[in-house]
Amino acid sequence: MRPEDRKYSPQHEWVRPDGDTMVIGITDHAADELGDIVFLELPEEGAELAPGDSLGTIETVKAVEELYTPVGGVVVEVNGAVVDHPEKVNEAPFDHGWLVKLRPDGSELETLMDAAAYDAMVDGD
């Protein structure tokens, strides 16, 4: 079971409320499917993103994939530790492997899945 304190997108990103910000990362399922992550490109602080906008790219030994934000807002923090050491996303995608923090500008969080619904979707894959 995945953490219940966050919401999940069909594209395998998670969002966790943290005060007046939203922390965004990728799920363990996505990290496992991608394989060894070797490079991340993330937006700069201050970037304004709408739901579904590119959050950057993630490069593995197999491919380069686009990341998308499930919620809109302004990037207030980028996790520099994962930019410098992208393998942290594989090691702990729900903890220190988070990607960015946004100050949200809408209520898209309500459109995302809870942990049980996400587990059911992944188990159906």
**In this predicted structure, what is the pLDDT of residue 68?**
94
**In sequence order, what DSSP letters do the residues of 4-23 get, joined into one string?**
TTSEE-TTSEEEEEETTEEE
Q: Is 79 helix (H, G, I), strand (E, B) or coil?
A: coil
Q: CATH number for the 7-124 domain, one of 3.40.50.10860, 1.20.1080.10, 3.40.50.1820, 2.40.50.100?
A: 2.40.50.100
Instruction: Give residue 11's Cα distance to chain centre.
Output: 9
Give the residue, 108 or 20, on which the prediction is more confident.
20
Nearest to 1 by CA among 85, 120, 124, 87: 120
**Element at 60 (helix H, strand E):** strand 54-60
pLDDT tens, position by position, 19-73: 999 999 999 999 999 999 999 999 999 999 999 999 999 999 989 999 999 999 9
Measure the CA–CA gap between 87 and 35, rounded to whole angstroms.
Answer: 10
Surface-to-core class of residue 113, CB atoms within 10 Å of its CB (0-12 exposed, 13-18 middle, 19+ buried): middle
**Domain segments of the chain as ranges:** 7-124
**Element at 38 (helix H, strand E):** strand 37-41
